[in-house]
Amino acid sequence: MSESPLLEMQLRSMHLPTMLANYRRLLSEYTEPLPYLADLISLEAAKRQENGVRARITAAHFPTIKTIEAFDFTLQGQLPKAKLLEHFDGGFVEAHRNAIFSGPPGVGKSHVLSALGLAMCMRGYRVLFTTAAGLLMKLIAAKKSGALERHYRYLDRIDLLLIDELGYVPFEREATDLLFQLISQRYERRSIALTTNLPFEKWTQVFPDEMTATAVIDRLVHHGSVFAFTGQSHRLRTRGKSTKNL
């Protein structure tokens, strides 16, 4: 067997498709073996990084792809922009800290939540996006089917759990107990970022008793940052402008 087919067979067996696709092209551009090999390996590594990012984004189940560059900070002038952007370097996930985005509906909380998750996917972290209602429905279903511990283990592999819309729907005792258990398991071990339309003093509208609400808040805030969003819904503002133009 000649060298070229043997090399190609070995590259395939080692699952190096980018090197296989580029080794002939780069060979004509180099006279020294080490720079040639370095560039060939760099191409393979870059492609694997790209594939990994794509896979993590798919696994995160974002409802829509949002970036922080597309967020209009002028509509949230009271937000500490520099402090918020610090979270996008991944340090808070590495430190197992949390982020809470609080405020009325339609002011950009979910946009920032999704953008934060996307940034963490690009930095190599495992991310999962879910609504609070969707998360609790899955936990209850897992409990009923006897798969609760397995589902908790799956969630424990998630570096950053994104929970959207906590507070829109009140929960029964069974659901809040499961949520409390999940938050307790992740405390100081994994990160949570969530959005809520309720100030902390009104979390008793979601949780059935004040003690549970206080315990949940304590675990989220102890190693967390709280960002307060204000103002009118962007959607309502846009709709109002459109109506005026009719």
**Segments forming the whole domain that contains residue 168:** 68-237
The whole-number average pLDDT for the span 116-132 is 96
Mean pLDDT of the chain: 89
Reported as a single tens digit per residue, the pLDDT across 81-110 is: 999 999 999 999 999 999 999 999 999 999
Cα 86–chain centre separation = 15
List Cα–Cα distances, 100 to 126, 166, 224, 226, in angstroms: 19, 10, 7, 5
Q: Kindly state whether residues 148 and 47 are assigned to the same domain.
A: no
Q: Kindly state whether residues 105 and 216 are assigned to the same domain.
A: yes
Q: Kindly state whether residues 144 and 32 are assigned to the same domain.
A: no
Structure tokens at 186: 């992740």
Q: Kindly state whether residues 42 and 144 are assigned to the same domain.
A: no
**80 in a domain, yes or no?**
yes
pLDDT computed for residue 5 by the predictor: 78
Q: Kindly state whether residues 26 and 147 are assigned to the same domain.
A: no
Task: Give the residue among 237, 227, 233 at the shortest CA–CA distance from 98.
Answer: 227
Q: Kindly state whether residues 39 and 101 are assigned to the same domain.
A: no
CATH number for the domain harbouring residue 107: 3.40.50.300
Count of domains for the chain: 2
Q: Kindly state whether residues 41 and 109 are assigned to the same domain.
A: no
- Which residues in 38-119 belong to E strands, given as ranges? 98-102
**61 in a domain, yes or no?**
no
Q: Kindly state whether residues 81 and 191 are assigned to the same domain.
A: yes
Q: Kindly state whether residues 40 and 76 are assigned to the same domain.
A: no
**46 in a domain, yes or no?**
yes
* Pairing outcome for strands 224-228 and 160-166: unpaired
pTM, 2 dp = 0.81
**212 in a domain, yes or no?**
yes
Q: Kindly state whether residues 155 and 218 are assigned to the same domain.
A: yes
Q: Where are the alpha helices (DSSP H) in 61-197?
A: 81-86, 91-94, 109-122, 132-144, 148-156, 173-186
Reported as a single tens digit per residue, the pLDDT across 51-77 is: 889 999 999 999 999 999 999 999 999
